[in-house]
Structure 1
Amino acid sequence: MTRPRRPVAATVAVALLAACAPVQAESAVKLPAAAFDPAVKVKRATAVLAGGCFWGVEGVFEHVEGVISVESGYHGGSAATARYELTHDGTSGHAEAVRIVYDPTRISYGTLLRILFSVIADPTLKDRQGPDVGRQYRAAIVPLDATQRQVATAYLAQIGKGGYFRRPLVVPVERYRAFYRAEANHQDFMKRNPGNGYIVRWDAPKLAAFKSLYPGLVRRAPAP
């Protein structure tokens, strides 16, 4: 699927960024496990995370062991603007995000954050990821309870002090508002369109990096 047409100036800017930006697999970094990541004794929990274009975020997390399901959507704005064509001027408040249902006895919340910032999103970039620029492409953590918020805050402090990144971390920990499921054509986009030019250039390398850095966390088959 072709992403929506942009104004000429924006198209030129994105093309320049795409030409200059490194392939994600080359910039991936193996981060440490979360030092604060208490066990959660339930079989089902939900996480909401943002890391740029939701195609690749969803595509990577679908391959994580312990993940039950992933869906793409919008978080941060209102129901009235939770549509793809209304998020691309950056004023809706929405971020392209994913909702992950996972089994905390098999994969922890801290490990989801570790994967997010190791291979999917650069936490030092403000309102952009890869070739995509705008507030809708911000990386963000959206805790759904107090424990998730504590883990998120502690992990950002941990990796920020660890010297893993050249620039300061700017990723926000946002208050949960509502998650709106994206249009059907965005669900499982990477799985259904492996030959799409955007997927090949930007998202397939993220999945390859995940499999290379964390082979023990890879599912045998992607989650639905």
Structure 2
Amino acid sequence: MKIDFAHSHFTHSPAKSPAAAAIAVTEPEALAAILRPEVQLAFWTREPASAPVLDPGAIDWSAIDDIAQTIDPALAPVEALLADAGFPAGPAVRALGREIAGLASLLARIARCDEVRLRLEVIESDACRKFHMDWVDMRLLATFYGPGTQWIEVNAERNGGADAPVHQLRCGEVAIFKGRLAVQEPQILHRSPPITGTGVTRLLLAIDPAG
């Protein structure tokens, strides 16, 4: 599916200058700023209290299966997917289900697609440890437990950004990254934070437009 970034009906204003490759927004619908041609990362700097809070003592991460599904956000029973994956019943997991369903619907509206590819993964290693840009049009990422995704803003001369300052999303923040299918010259690269050998666990949500 090819997304028309130049002719979007979304008109939300970014929090930074129009020329910025990475911009912070203060409400979820404003993530549609990712459709601006010059923007390669839009992230929602939400209040921590508005994000789902998971009790680490209530979840045995080793018993949780990863979720990978193509869904219609209007119909998908996300809470049932969480239950099937081994998440325990309770208010926190119900809130997580509502959050995931809402974000899936949000990305579908922004990308103007009927279905999305949803992945919810328990990560205990350095997955995607090198800074990169995904081979998609766009991807929504949110970490609901553990450290958030790291990103850098680079110039072409920096040869992949080895000298660029490293930024990190907070747990619960929601970001949409443009992918390589939509970008001729990458300015924003991202990676999973290094956690191998630390005993740290992450719960990462990734959602892509599917059609």
TM-score (norm 2): 0.28
Q: Taking CA–CA contacts closer than 8 Å with sequence separation of 6 or more, which of the two structures ends up with the larger relative contact order?
A: 1
Relative to its length, the structure with more strand (as a share) is: 2
TM-score, normalised to structure 1, is 0.27
